[in-house]
Amino acid sequence: MRKYFRIAVLAGAVWISLLPVSAQYDLDPANKFARALDWIQRYYVDSVNTSKLVEDAIVGMLKDLDPHTVYMNRDEVRQMNEPLQGNFEGIGVSFYLLEDTILVIKPVPEGPSDKVGVKAGDKIITINGENVAGIGLTNDGVFERLRGPRGTTVTVGIKRQGEPELLQFKIQRDKIPIFSLDAAYMISPGVGYIKINRFAATTSREFTEAFRTLKSKGMTRLILDLSQNGGGYLEEAIRLADFFLSKNKLILYTQGLKSPRQDFIATSYGEFEKGDLLIVIDENSASASEIVAGAIQDWDRGLIVGRRSFGKGLVQRPVPLPDGSLIRLTVARYYTPTGRSIQKPYKDGIDAYEQDLIKRYQHGEFIHADSIRFPDSLKYYTLEKKRTVYGGGGIMPDIFVPLDTSSYSSYYRSLMNTGILYRFVVKYIDRNRRELIARYPSFEQFEKNFTVTSSILDQLTAYAETQKLPADSAGMAASGNQIRLLLKAYIARDLFDTNEFFQIYNQSDKTVQKAVEVISSMSKYW
């Protein structure tokens, strides 16, 4: 017995070894973890949630690797996949919870709700006989009730303006597309503008369709807006870059300690290998966006306008686990055609990494181009024109555009950060929908003739006061023009679509306006 058990008294507590002495040393790490978990399950003084214990252990194990290696439970996996897969299954409406009531902003064209007659402005009062108005429903609660497997049905009771009784609609759920392309229109003669919000499974197809439509309208030059685009599927970024680069040009390569170098090469299928190209980026352009911008910049195929991108140059591989959760494991770094790694440093820990954008702002980087300095060791040269570019933390634009804060005020920020401005828009449209549609049946008429009057601004101010935001005449004077433009843009979005929103919003976007200026005289910027 002395061979197999040890008894020790430490600080007044009795510790009893339950393993043979010979087995207490040199355990394989995986066996060590399994053994520890087994001990807890067998002998811990109280009951434990084993699943949570394991999840917490996995999270703790990953947190010191890199900022982008993460564990995701089943719900998080579903939430991540839906926008990237380009569809979900449900009834096909965009909605807003207005005063604890589900307000239909717009049914998806040709979607299940649209087909049975649900209209913008309808209020969903019941779902399968359950009252859902005035009960404190959250967005997740709405999703749980309205989404479901394709082919299943749900009955909604709708309150429609002018109808005395609830209207009952039986809706058969179906696949609902989620678009990654926000806008595509002719921003000036001969110049097309396309904005992509993420790189999803359908992005290259959406882009190609939009490109061909604009080309048929006379587009010869293109502004591709990747600002606020946090990335997505690597494959879609490669396909998009291929669209612009000629055959056999390197788009990027990936390499890691356990992952040998893999080159991704352009094919002969690019439809816009010649013609002026300009890409807009900002501090929130990351990953797949940086792949596209880096390839275009390195090959001198186009110019980059805006501010330094986020700096995510790590490649993740999803590792599925048996319960539907997964680990997004970093397996390699990606490098632009010149060999640049644009991953920003993370040696100071995740907290410092996540504060990087704030530090950039405080340092003045968003305002002054000369606040950014890179050592010569990070200097590279483009492959055609031998222009200087840098690695080591994001894509530096060829043409810097500072963050425009000229119309910002504390009042404006409060209107935006609290959601008051958009809630006002929803209420305004709800009250005036019929009149607005009758007066502005097309976006062209709306853009030309609709004006945000002083009366509308007064209504906004009064509504803000009911939301405990006091009137601020100085703030309104400083930000009034921007508030007017945003109100008009939001109204356009809810009456028409996101494409129309950006046609109005971009009129005040200094980076987009600079892009239009540059692409109109590209030769002087090379």
- The active-site residue, picked from 316, 343, 409, 414, is 316
Burial bucket for residue 418 (CB in 10 Å: 0-12, 13-18, 19+): middle
Helix, strand or coil, per DSSP, at residue 235: helix
Last residue of a domain, one of 374, 403, 432: 403
Q: Is a pLDDT exceeding 80 seen at residue 19?
A: no
pLDDT tens string 273-288: 999 999 999 999 999 9
Of the candidates 312, 344, 488, 514, the residue annotated as catalytic is: 312
The per-residue pLDDT for 31 is: 87
pLDDT above 90 coverage of the chain, percent: 79
| pLDDT of res. 200 | 95
Whether residue 185 sits in one domain with residue 173: no
C-beta separation of 379 from 275 below 8 A = no
Give the closest residue to 405 by CA, choosing from 364, 440, 345: 364
Q: pLDDT tens digits for 76-117? A: 898 888 888 878 899 999 999 988 999 999 999 889 999 999
Cβ atoms of 371 and 359 within 8 Å: the answer is no
By C-alpha distance, which of 73, 92, 76, 96 is closest to 84? 76
Check whether 15 has a pLDDT greater than 70: no
pLDDT at residue 7 in the model: 46
Position 15 in a domain: no
Q: Is pLDDT of 5 > 80?
A: no
pLDDT at position 4 is 46
Is 106 part of a structural domain of the chain?
Answer: yes
Does 281 share its domain with 241? Answer: yes
| 68 found inside a domain | no
Of 161-165, 428-432, 474-478, the range with the lowest mean pLDDT is 161-165
> pLDDT at position 78, please?
85
CA 369 – CA 403 distance, rounded (Å): 11
**Cα–Cα distance between 192 and 215 in angstroms, integer?**
8
Residue 507, domain member (yes or no): no
- Kindly state whether residue 206 falls inside one of the protein's structural domains: yes
CA–CA separation, 175 and 431 (whole Å): 32
Q: Is 312 among the catalytic positions?
A: yes
3-state SS class at 443: helix
The CATH number that applies at residue 136 is 2.30.42.10
pLDDT at 271 over 80: yes
Tell me the CATH number at 240: 3.90.226.10
Indicate whether 149 and 187 sit together in one domain.
no
Q: Are residues 348 and 397 in the same domain?
A: yes
Select from 376, 403, 430 the last residue of a domain: 403
Q: How many CA atoms lie within 13 A of 322 on its CB side?
A: 1
Helix, strand, coil shares of the chain, percent, nearest 5, are 40, 20, 40
pLDDT single digits (tens) 41-61 = 999 999 989 989 999 999 998
- The mean pLDDT value for 128-137 works out to 94
Pair 208, 300 in one domain: yes
- Average pLDDT over the chain reads 92
Asked, for residue 447, whether it belongs to a domain, the answer is: yes
Asked if residue 472 lies in contact with residue 411, where contact means CB atoms within 8 angstroms, the answer is yes
pLDDT at 8 over 90: no
Say whether both 378 and 276 belong to one domain. Answer: yes
pLDDT at 12: 46
> Is 193 inside a domain boundary?
yes
Q: Label the pairing between strands 277-281 and 303-306.
A: parallel
Same domain for 112 and 147, yes or no, is: yes
Q: Are residues 172 and 291 in the same domain?
A: no
User: What pLDDT was estimated at residue 141?
Assistant: 93
- Could you say which of 287, 297, 309, 409 is catalytic? 287
User: Based on the domain organization, do 418 and 487 belong to the same domain?
Assistant: yes
pLDDT over 70 at 25, yes or no? no
- Is the per-residue pLDDT at 26 higher than 90? no
Q: How confident is the model at residue 482 (pLDDT cuts 50, 70, 90)?
A: very high
CB of 296 within 8 A of CB of 237?
no
Rounded to an integer, the average pLDDT of 420-444 is: 95
pLDDT band at 370 (very low <50, low <70, confident <90, very high): confident
Q: Answer whether residue 243 shows pLDDT above 70.
A: yes
| Enclosing domain of residue 164 | 87-177
The model carries a pTM of 0.89
Q: How many domains does the chain have?
A: 3
For residues 236 and 355, state if they share a domain.
yes
Give the mean model confidence (pLDDT) for residues 384-409: 94
Are both 381 and 472 inside the same structural domain? Answer: no
- Residue 171 clears pLDDT 50, i.e. is over it: yes
In a domain, 481, yes or no: yes
Query: Does residue 190 surpass a pLDDT of 50?
Result: yes
Lowest mean pLDDT segment, chosen from 17-21, 56-60, 330-334, 433-437: 17-21
Q: Could you tell me the pLDDT band of residue 9, with boundaries at 50, 70 and 90?
A: very low
- In this model, does residue 451 exceed pLDDT 60? yes
354 in the same domain as 224: yes
- Domain termination site, one of 368, 386, 403: 403
The DSSP secondary-structure symbol of 495 reads H
